[in-house]
Amino acid sequence: MTKQEKLLELQKYNFAAYDLLLFLDTHPEDKTGFAMFRDMVEKMKRLKAEYEEQYGPLEPYSAAKFDTFKWLESPWPWEKEGNA
């Protein structure tokens, strides 16, 4: 899986988890919805860890798990070189 594909997959799980979170705000007793939410969150966490291990942190707080502060390393995702 390429860097862009992995990021897109992570975004899909993040969206699904957030959508389920909104559902659970109005249906907190829904056990199936909560199980789906937990599943999406676990998949999202796993993908995020894989992505950050390969490509660096996705957010500043994730930089804490590295030996050096890698948050400001170039290229940024919106720079041309970051989308190669």
Provide the whole-model pTM: 0.77
Say how far apart CA 43 and CA 16 lie, in whole Å.
11
- Rank 39-43, 58-62, 65-69, 73-77 by mean pLDDT and report only the highest: 39-43
Q: 82 is written with which tokens?
A: 């970051």
pLDDT confidence of residue 9? 95
The pLDDT of 39-47, averaged and rounded, is 96
Neighbouring residues of 4: CB distance < 8 A, sequence distance ≥ 6: 83
**What type of residue sits at position 25?**
D
74 three-state secondary structure? coil
Specify the number of domains making up the chain: 1
Of residues 42, 70, 39, 41, the one with CA closest to residue 57: 70
Its domain, for residue 57, covers: 3-83
